[in-house]
Structure 1
């Protein structure tokens, strides 16, 4: 009788084996991003390797290979806390500050796109940038998957600009909340901010043909800092600069 009871107990336990928390595998060459937290520090570690983010993206140029990531990560949090949008125009880079605006040129067909850095990666040897599905499509690299590219920083947060702003507390300051290659997209964002009751302007960077959306002006750095904090939830890459 005892043997029968023991056998029944073992039989009941067998279906429970392996019912622990299910592991979600990530694609080859990528760390799991299911619980990504915003990384704002200057250093971070992935797979036991330390990476350091640059203080500024000014004059940044880099050559290497680009790849893209799509549906598997759509809707998940990126390293800066935003939701990854495979149909947007963003990118992952290991070292550039969040909010950096990059011109990415496919060296094989000379097509270029403008993207904003909001994620970290790719953590694959030889690759320097990960692009969204849409950005990859515009570059003509969906099929090949990996192509040689040139990266050029054409806008974004500048460490030197913010530092100089803090030294001078009075003047004219703006909060940049976005940069676009398409004027219509920049105009749409401006109108949205104006409807919220904030002063806003468009500024075209002639050298790069980028349309920038500036909230302001503010007469003190403190006022600009308050505005930046209020906008932080929607625009995590927002930054302050001294302007005219």
Structure 2
């Protein structure tokens, strides 16, 4: 899945210039998108409260069709035709005004995802936001952003249909010998960090040995584990262990 090229939509029937900016309005915090901390590529990121008026300058990138329809860290599907953004540590959802340093265009976007995880980048914007800000033809641009003030919302968490009350299990494959299953499990363990998932072999009692991967209870990690398995050539099937 990682070898699929990212880019703009192959067919665009949306008038980006006519899209309204998202309204900064009270919303409960995302239940799934705000763990105390999370771990990506050897780095631990700690989530911090939204700080209205906070400003930052840095490099912004954008993402598009490769991720369209995939779940964001908030549990919402990514829509490249909406004005959204990813930030590494800001509580989500949040609203920020982004300004392109090169042309001074600015836009309000809703932060609902995590990233970017390349050094020196502060935001990953949706394709639509990059288009509106005038840098969709480029990979990156220097921007500044300001966190907007939003009236206080009900502090209760969003009821998330994907919220976990039980363990997700990815069944990777089933083979006829335990030796073969353990060998495959060992290969998967060497490719997926222990803090992201555990790997086990189970017998179904009828001569088959199942190789299963159990991701930690975090949507971002679960998504990363799934995509890693796909990249390794597997077609994992998800089930829920009560």
TM-score by length of 1: 0.51
Which residue is equivalent to 1:102? Answer: 96
Asked if 1:142 corresponds to 2:128, the answer is: no
Which residue is equivalent to 1:56? Answer: 50
Which residue is equivalent to 2:2? Answer: 25
CA contact (8 A) 2:53 2:149 kept: no
Distance 1:95 1:27 in 2: 27
Check 1:101–1:80 CA distance in 2 against 1; reply closer, same or farther (3 A cut): same
Distance 2:61 2:4 in 1: 13
- Note the C-alpha offset of 1:56: 2.7
Which residue is equivalent to 1:155? Answer: 149
RMSD over equivalenced CA pairs, Å:
2.6
Which residue is equivalent to 2:226? Answer: none
- Note the C-alpha offset of 1:233: 4.5
Q: Deviations over 1:136-191 (max 9, x none)?
A: 0000001122000001001348xxx6xxxxxxxxxxxxx4xxxxxxxxxxxxxxxx
Distance 1:112 1:27 in 2: 30
Equivalent position SS for 1:123 = coil
Equivalent position SS for 1:135 = helix
CA contact (8 A) 1:99 1:156 kept: no
The structure 2 residue matched to 1:42, chosen from 16, 36, 57, is 36
**Unaligned 5+ runs, structure 2:** 6-30, 164-242
Check 1:27–1:42 CA distance in 2 against 1; reply closer, same or farther (3 A cut): farther
- What count of residue pairs does the alignment treat as equivalent? 137
Write the mapping of 1:1-244 to structure 2, written as runs, cut at 5 A: 24-25=1-2, 38-156=32-150, 175=153, 232-233=159-160
Distance 1:97 1:148 in 2: 23
CA contact (8 A) 2:85 2:126 kept: yes
- Note the C-alpha offset of 1:128: 0.5
- Note the C-alpha offset of 1:63: 0.2
Distance 2:3 2:89 in 1: 22
CA contact (8 A) 1:64 1:149 kept: yes
Equivalent position SS for 1:72 = coil
Which residue is equivalent to 2:173? Answer: none
CA contact (8 A) 1:57 1:97 kept: no
Check 1:48–1:132 CA distance in 2 against 1; reply closer, same or farther (3 A cut): same
Which protein, 1 or 2, shows the higher relative CO under an 8 Å CA cutoff with sep ≥ 6?
A: 2
Equivalent position SS for 2:2 = coil
- Note the C-alpha offset of 1:59: 2.4
Which residue is equivalent to 1:212? Answer: none
- Note the C-alpha offset of 1:52: 1.1
Equivalent position SS for 1:138 = helix
